[in-house]
């Protein structure tokens, strides 16, 4: 439960433009869709996916690091890691189990399965879009556990796209379609308040000192 008095106090340290920006962005945030990357080797690819999630309003990202474990490239992510919730998993099975428990269908993005083209994708279901390793693609574990497969229509000789490009194309399409629907896709009021508090913490330089003074008053 958020302390609304504390939130109001913290937001008094923000400029009006910053508070308006927070409100505007939060209205476009969703947990209806989320993204998972599986053991992506190239650091800039994971960072670019996180940046795309922020751009298209995806609040949560899941990073599976069963083989490769690397820090987020701050230069590529352009600060997006501050605004998007990053969940790390040490195994793909644990990640899938948690996601399914939270009501997400597992969507394997792969050009090698003929299930659903991007323009036919049903946005009504909560979905986690899985993106695999650069050369090997998704693991067999993801393929076996997937509820559906999704592919981007392609007309050239090349059979696949860089994962960060694929993520941007897919997210732009599904979020646009989602926001044109009657589905309740926005964060709840409680979730928005939680993010306002979190973003205050990540924005105000003297946050810890302000908190200390607040509780001593």
Domain range summary for the chain, segments of one domain joined by +? 1-27+190-217, 30-185
Question: Residue 97: what pLDDT?
Answer: 97
pTM of the model: 0.90
Tokens 């508070």 sit on residue:
19
Q: Taking residues 164-180, what's their average pLDDT?
A: 96
Sign of the dihedral through C-alpha 166, 144, 71, 187: positive
The more confident residue out of 82 and 22 is 22
Q: 3.40.1280.10, 3.20.20.140, 3.40.50.150, 2.40.30.10: which CATH number matches 30-185? A: 3.40.1280.10
Give tens-digit pLDDT for 118-139: 999 999 999 999 998 766 788 8
Question: Residue 108: what pLDDT?
Answer: 95
Strand partners of residue 18? none
Give 160's contacts (C-beta < 8 A, 6+ positions apart).
111, 137, 166
Mean pLDDT score across all residues of the chain: 89
Give 60's contacts (C-beta < 8 A, 6+ positions apart).
31, 34, 35, 84, 85, 87
**What percentage of the chain exceeds 90 in pLDDT?**
68
């Amino acid at each position: 439960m958020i302390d609304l008095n504390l939130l109001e106090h913290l937001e008094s340290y923000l400029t009006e433009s910053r508070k308006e920006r927070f409100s505007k962005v939060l209205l476009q945030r969703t947990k209806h869709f989320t993204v998972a990357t599986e053991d992506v080797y190239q650091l800039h690819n994971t960072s670019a996916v996180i940046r795309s999630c922020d751009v298209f309003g995806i609040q949560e990202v899941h990073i599976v690091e069963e083989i490769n474990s690397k820090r987020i490239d701050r230069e590529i992510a352009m600060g997006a890691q501050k605004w998007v919730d990053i969940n790390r998993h040490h195994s793909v099975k644990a990640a899938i189990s948690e996601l399914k428990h939270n009501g997400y269908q597992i969507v394997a993005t792969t050009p090698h399965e003929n299930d659903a083209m991007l323009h036919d994708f049903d946005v009504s279901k909560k979905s986690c879009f899985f993106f695999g390793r650069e050369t090997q693609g998704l693991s067999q574990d993801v393929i076996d556990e997937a509820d559906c497969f999704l592919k981007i229509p392609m007309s050239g000789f090349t059979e696949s796209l860089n994962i960060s490009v694929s993520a941007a194309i897919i997210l732009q399409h599904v979020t646009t379609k989602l926001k044109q629907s009657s589905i309740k896709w926005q964060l709840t009021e409680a979730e928005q308040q939680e993010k306002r508090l979190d973003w205050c913490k990540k924005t105000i330089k003297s946050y810890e000192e302000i908190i200390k003074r607040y509780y001593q008053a």
